[in-house]
Structure 1
Amino acid sequence: MTTPILGFIAHSGTGKTTLLVQLIRRLKNNKINVAVIKHAHHNVDIDKPGKDSYRLRESGADQVILSSSERTAYIKETPLQAMSFEQTIGLLDHSLIDLILVEGFKNETYNKIELHRTSLNKPFLFESNQRVLAIAHDGLPTQQQAQLAKQQLTELDLNDIEQITTFVTSYIHNHQ
């Protein structure tokens, strides 16, 4: 059995992370264990200058694992090529999770919910992405309503986290 994967894609400024924080809290309240993969378009450094782990990595270590009784962090240097989406998923302990949520990686082939905020005046992303199952929006002008009506996508209220949680919970149950 593979762990269900569900992504959230949107234009910058739509509120992906804010929505995911709310969603994760509700899923955890429902005893659903969640992993999150977030794609970054810039250099990522979660380590802090001056800490031993930072010094070890800066000295040339290609991989560093920080491990304590509460948490484990894995830092891998990838100067020549970023890890693929599949490699990233492979790092997860699937025995401990019920769902993988993804923010970004919009061109990868996994199912997604598109978030659309009308005030940003941006085009839909689902037109160039066949794996969008639903669109969560905050109301649409008539032209975009007509455009969306042609698609067979579930419509969700971007501001109704309970509705989105119900959709995600159903998705998990349908993909187990």
Structure 2
Amino acid sequence: MVTSTSTTNDFSEAAGLSFSAYSADHLAALLRIWVEHSWPISKEETFNLCDRCGWTMMQGDDESFTTSIQSANYNQFDGSVRYDANDPSFISGIDVELTPRTPTESISRTTPIVKGLYGEYLNAISRAYGNPTAFSNEAGQSSIWTLPHHVSIHLILNQTYLKIRIHSPAQTKRTTRTISHITDHRNI
């Protein structure tokens, strides 16, 4: 049974441990806060955007934050800010864990939940930003949307947990160049 509110779903009963996740519509709204913001995003703006999302920066750490999702997440934090190596006064993106990394003994119960959420999130993001480019490998699945202003969204199903990664336009361009370079070398 799933208990639902407008922003979260509680899967604790099905998972056998504390396990909640954003509703697909709320995740899409959180993504809009980031991807539709003017880039580049400064450190100060990052703190404000995290606050708008209901995320709390870790005390004394300008790279880690916790989300409002209550879960059995055994990590110290739920998300991280990545600063641009070329200009650390701006961010190159954020990473947010959308589901907990559950203990081994709970994986059989949480995997169907995580895979279902991946499908719901995929549909919600696709409604907002069109069809993604999809990849699969032994580690899991990922879907990538590159928006017209070069911000990219990466939805990652890493077998047993979900993560979202947002890249700045500069980081998206660097990543695209690197992938093209690798592909060019393979064709030689």
TM category, shorter: under 0.3
Of Structure 1 and Structure 2, the greater helix share is in 2
Tell me the TM-score normalised to structure 2 length: 0.26
- Greater relative CO (CA pairs within 8 A, separation 6+): 1
Tell me the TM-score normalised to structure 1 length: 0.27
